[in-house]
Amino acid sequence: MRFELTYTMALATTEQHEAHKEKIRQVYKEVGKVVVGQEYMVNRLLVGLFTNGHILLEGVPGLAKTLTISTLAKVLHLDFQRIQFTPDLLPADLIGTMIYNQKEGKFEVKKGPIFANIILADEINRSPAKVQSALLESMQEKQVTIGETTFKLDKPFLVLATQNPVDQEGTYPLPEAQVDRFMMKVFVDYPTKDEELEIMRRISNMQFSLEVNPLLTKEDIFAIRDGVNKVKISESLERYIIELVTATRKPKEYKLDKEAQYIQFGASPRASINLNLSAKAIAYMDGRDYVLPEDIKEVALDVMNHRILLNYEAEADNVKTAEIIKTLLSKVPISK
């Protein structure tokens, strides 16, 4: 009897997993109606959504970062707010403020755009530190205090911030400690030749639409999160994650003498946590309930590229963080 009950529960879980996998596949297809390419960016945004992690996107203008995020919000049927960060933005413009109601003779709370499910913080490095701190506090605490009242933010709550790597004059780069709060930093690349050809044809022939169908509900998202939490990861892979992160702090112990001369600070413990979570999400989205070494390697660059700080010698020798991470993945062995 107990065996039959266990088998039935396992079968139901498997069927639910397959249903979720199909819905996620449909999400890519639906976003593709509006955005050509950028499946990689959509994948990382979904990883963040399903693991309750925030994403920092970096790429030159015109790569459809804003369009992709707004379209994904529609497909996920979530409240969406885009905030254009500018040098004159104030924290109150983000979280809200108290306004005086003359008719009632009292102050009332006016909530800001932060009260949504998906927040697009466009060009976050263009706003002063106070505004950046207000956003990052909301990300960390999942709540906002206006006056003497604290408001819980709606769930799911996901911040997707963008940075422009060019035109840095008059910007306020995020401090390393604040960048560390983002689960991933994803570099958005140019489209391929074929993708750009399709974009050009769609726009020139007016063959594009911003209309998409909502596919996932909040209940679906919470169910997927629950499924991701249940994905199994072996102790050897857990230790592999720890070894990878430790190698960024003590590279000489892993015979990475060349890399050691370029690393100023290694990755924080948030790297270990987010490698674990994101690898589980990748496995679940691929239809598995267990993590493979390839899942960890797939997300390692996005999870660690903003957590390894290189020194001036690396800049002089034109050594990039991606090269360091690639070497780590090739030389750090998987524990047995």
Tell me the per-residue pLDDT of 234-264, one tens digit each, with 9 for 90 and over. Answer: 899 999 999 999 988 888 888 888 888 888 8
Mean pLDDT, residues 119-145 taken together: 82
CATH number of 231-331: 1.10.8.80
Residue 24 identity (one-letter amino acid): I
- The rounded distance, in Å, linking the Cα atoms of 42 and 69 is 8
Q: State the residue for tokens 């996901």.
A: 158
The answer to whether residues 310 and 260 touch, using CB atoms and an 8 Å cutoff, is no
pTM of the model as a whole: 0.84
Per-residue pLDDT band for 277 (boundaries 50, 70, 90) equals very high
Residue 3 pLDDT more than 60?
A: no
Residue 81 has a CB neighbour count (10 Å cut-off) of 17
The most confident of 105-109, 140-144, 239-243, by mean pLDDT: 239-243
Residue 96 identity (one-letter amino acid): G
- The rounded distance, in Å, linking the Cα atoms of 96 and 71 is 25
The answer to whether residues 129 and 87 touch, using CB atoms and an 8 Å cutoff, is no
Fold of 16-208: Rossmann fold (3.40.50)
Residue 16 pLDDT more than 70?
A: yes
Residue 131 pLDDT more than 60?
A: yes
Cα–Cα distances in angstroms (integers) from residue 298 to residues 16, 57, 116, 286, 334, in the given order:
25, 17, 30, 13, 15
The answer to whether residues 73 and 60 touch, using CB atoms and an 8 Å cutoff, is no
pLDDT confidence of residue 282: 93
Strand partners, 109: 98
Domain boundaries, the chain: 16-208, 231-331
Strand partners, 56: 161, 185
